[in-house]
Amino acid sequence: MGSVLGGLVSTVKEVLRKSVITAVTRVPKDVWEALHRYYEVESELPRRVLEVMLKAVYVASRSEVPLCQDTGIPTFFIRLGRDFPLSTSELEGLIRDVISELTSEGFLRPNAVDPFTNTNSGNNLGKYFPVIHTELTDGDELDVTFVAKGGGSEYVSQLCMVPPSKGIEGVKECVLKSVIDAGPKPCPPVIIGVGIAGSADVAELLSRKALYLRRVGERHREEYVAKLELELLREINKLGLGPMGLGGLVTALDVHVEYGFRHPATLAVAITYSCWALRRSRVVISSDGRVREDPNDFWLPPWLGGG
Amino acid sequence: MRVVKLPTNPKVINELRVGEVIYLSGLVVTMRDLGKVRYLRMVREGKGLPINIRCWGVFHAGPIVKLRGGKYVIKSIGPTTSARMDHLVAELIKAVGPVLFIGKGGLGELSRDAFRRFGGAYVELVGGTASLITKAVKEVVNVYWLDLGVPEALWVLRVDGLGPAIVTMDSRGNYLRDGVIRRAYEVIKELIRS
């Protein structure tokens, strides 16, 4: 039994390593396709900017050089089956080992800084660093989504406590104003997660789930929410900030909204941004050691124009 | 394709104009938030500085670095958000004169005012394209202030053809985004009213 478990531990570790390296050296297919669609319709400077982005993705994936030097705050969203033979603390230990190893190997920049002393820990480990969200689920599978959450896009995160009387119009106003305030800082075209709830903490968490767990073009299953997402996307792109905020047709590639119920007195809206270079990978491991990589994330981006 | 050799002189920096797309060759030094704070403090205290950044290219960047055979090698480097350091850029310009800042994500009113009064310019690289930008870095010439951590240290780099670098703020106080931002505010007024 010990060696069977040992085998699974080394599988999980290998899978985590590959997931992180894959994520930081490309963008997922859904993001690439959205960028490419706009590359084909933009002109002049915005087109040139998108061209440089798409070329950088290709080169990063082939040379295994991090696409962006800021590999961000390593962030994990985990769904851990109750019958999967690893505990949350064992899994977190493995994650910390992998993050520290990949930092010394030059795949991740050491980004964990003590806010009081400004000392960089040098290995990407620190209090609440990396960020690990774990949910327990039924079944025997381990489902891991990794995101390299860059600091430039994190810097413009926003929380609005909207007067409930303003309703969804108030939500829209908050999102649109936040996009203008963010301007060129988060490296547009951005992908936006919006969380709506009664309390600030739930709104924040939902905005991250919306951003990290949904794919570009994937609409919310409820019609009202899906409609709001499309309205927000259309209006954000009307702002005309464009790639790197230098003007153009595309300011956001997509907007994802998740919600929970509110309190009569509160309407909390959290907005989380990803730069165009959304670096994500999702993989599912069964307790028998079977590994299923999401083909949308584990892929080789083509040179411009496909092929 | 215009190449600007660095370090340079005030004339070359001050004659750059917004909208120009250039490439950079020669020496640049990385410096971000904490590096600038320390640099300014040392200027104020009259302490000896590791380099005089007047007429240098100051790169808003924090690289990923590997030590290979006793030499530092840049594994990945690219621009960080300059807007965060607007006040520090303005103070540096006041302290040393013209500098060519290299970053992304724009600069604000304090830098614009300092460039106009004391000279200086700002070029932007495309954020998130470190895999391409790193190819332009030929050598790590020196490193100072590693005690600030790898991203914040001052990395002196020899670069060749670093770009495309878009001039977005110049010594006349022009900012390439002025029109884009003005239009965005007009649009949002319409959207929120309706």
* Per-residue pLDDT tens digits of chain A, which is 307 residues long: 456 788 999 999 999 999 999 999 999 999 999 999 999 999 999 999 999 999 999 999 999 999 999 999 999 999 999 999 999 999 999 999 999 999 999 999 999 999 999 999 999 999 999 999 999 999 999 999 999 999 999 999 999 999 999 999 999 999 999 999 999 999 999 999 999 999 999 999 999 999 999 999 999 999 999 999 999 999 999 999 999 999 999 999 999 999 999 999 999 999 999 999 999 999 999 999 999 999 999 999 999 865 4
Q: Are B115 and B86 in contact (CB under 8 A)?
A: no
Q: Name the token pair of B101.
A: 């800042």
- What pTM was estimated for this model as a whole? 0.95
pLDDT beyond 80 at B194: no
Helices A223-238 and A167-182 pack at an angle, to 10 degrees, of 40
Number of helices (H), then strands (E), belonging to chain B: the values are: 6, 9
Determine, for residues A244 and B184 on separate chains, whether the beta-carbon distance falls below 8 Å: no
Strands in A73-81's sheet, in edge-to-edge order, are: A131-137, A73-81, A141-149, A280-286, A291-293
Token duo for residue A216: 């570009």
Q: How many CA atoms lie within 13 A of A115 on its CB side?
A: 3
CA dihedral A229, A230, A232, A236 (to 10 degrees): 130
Contact B162/B102 with Cβ under 8 angstroms? Answer: yes
Does A126 contact B at CB distance below 8 Å? no
Distance CA A22, CA A192 (A): 22
A113 reaches B (C-beta below 8 A): yes
- pLDDT score, position A307: 44
pLDDT at A258: 98
Chain A residues within an 8 Å CB radius of B80? 70, 151-152
CA distances from B29 to A56, A118, A268 (A): 23, 21, 43
Of all residues in chain A, the one with the smallest CA distance to B103 is A185
User: What's the first-to-final CA gap in chain B, in angstroms?
Assistant: 46
Q: Chain A: give the shortest CA distance to residue B5, in Å.
A: 22
A positions 11-50 inside 8 Å of B (CB): 25, 45, 48-49
Residues whose CB is less than 8 angstroms from the CB of residue A37 and which lie 6 or more positions away in sequence, other chains included: none
Residue A70 with chain B: CB contacts under 8 Å: 62, 78, 80
Helices (H), chain A: 2-24, 29-41, 44-63, 88-104, 151-154, 167-182, 200-213, 223-238
Considering only CB atoms, which chain B residues are within 8 Å of A238? 187, 191
